[in-house]
Amino acid sequence: MKLYDRETSGNSYKIRLFLALLKLKYEKVTVDTAAGEQKQAWFLRMNPRGQIPVLEAEGKYIWDSTAILVYLGRRYGGESWLPLDAADMAEVAQWLAMAQNEIMYGLARARAIVAFGRKADLSEAQAAGQNALNVLEQHLQRHTWLAVGRPTIADVACYPYVALAEQGKISLDPYPAVLSWMKRIQSLNGFVGMPGLRLV
C-alpha cells in the first residue's frame, strides 16, 4: 500500500494512525500541497478532487479520509473496527458524519486559520468547534467510546482534529470526558502521534 499525504494534515494523520493501529506496513509519499502538487495532473488522475490523503491499494486509488478508513476497517479490521450489524454500523456512521461536519468546519478550520493563515472567520469556526466538543463531552460522560462500546473507525475519524484543537486556540480543559477519551486512544496498542497533538 502507498499513502499520499502530508505530515501536518489531520485527515492524513487519521490514516497513518489507523494503519499503525492495524499494524499494516505501507509506503508514505509526501505531497507538497503548499506548492500545489495536489492540483497537478499526476495527482488529479488519482483523486479528481485534488485533495489528500489518497491510498493506493489493490490496484485502486481510494480518496477521502472517511472512505479510506471504511476500506481499511472492512478489509483488515473485521467486525472490530467497522461492525456489519445495521444499527451498529449506523452508530459508527453518525460519528463519521460528525467528523466531516462540525469537527471539520469547526476545529479543523480554526486550526487552519491560526496555524496556516487560512482566510476565514475564526470566531465562527471556534464557535462551531466548541459546539462539536460539547456534543462529544455529553456523549463521553456516559460512554467510554463513541460507538458500540469499543474503539472503532468513529474514534479514529474524530480524534485528530479534537487533539489538535488547541492549535486553533480552542482550549480542551473544559472538556474532561473528552480528555479522558483522548487518553484512552493514546493508550491503544500501536498509537502514533503527529506534531501539535495534545498528549494527555
DSSP conformation letters of 79-92? HHHS--SHHHHHHH
Any domain includes 196: no
Residue 78: pLDDT over 90: no
Q: Is 197 among the domain residues?
A: no
Residues 19 and 45 in one domain: yes
* Per-residue pLDDT, 50: 95
For residues 181 and 107, what is the distance between their CA atoms, to the nearest angstrom? Answer: 17
Same domain, 112 and 180: yes
- Looking at the fold, whether 85 and 149 belong to one and the same domain comes out as yes
Question: Looking at the chain, which runs of residues are DSSP E strands?
Answer: 2-5, 27-30, 54-57, 60-63
The label of the residue with cell 489528500 reads 52
Average pLDDT over the chain, rounded to whole? Answer: 97
Q: How many domains does the chain have?
A: 2
Which residues constitute the domain of residue 162?
A: 79-186
- How far apart (Å, rounded) are the C-alpha atoms in residues 166 and 173? 10
Give 147-175 pLDDT, tens digit per residue. 999 999 999 999 999 999 999 999 999 99
**Does the pLDDT of residue 31 top 90, yes or no?**
yes
Whole-number pLDDT of residue 99 = 98
Task: Clarify whether residues 182 and 83 are in a common domain.
Answer: yes
Q: Is 137 found in the same domain as 170?
A: yes
pLDDT average, residue stretch 103-124? 96
Residue 53 pLDDT > 90, yes or no? yes
Crossing angle between the packed helical segments 65-76 and 10-21, to the nearest 10 degrees? 10
Percentage of the chain lying above the pLDDT 90 cut: 98
Residue 1 has what pLDDT? 96
Q: What is the pLDDT at residue 177?
A: 98
Q: What pLDDT shows up at residue 159?
A: 98
In angstroms, the CA 90 to CA 185 distance is 21
From the number of C-beta atoms within 10 Å of its C-beta (0-12, 13-18, 19+), residue 62 rates as: buried
**Whether 50 and 103 share a structural domain:** no
Tell me which of 30, 49, 76 is where a domain ends.
76
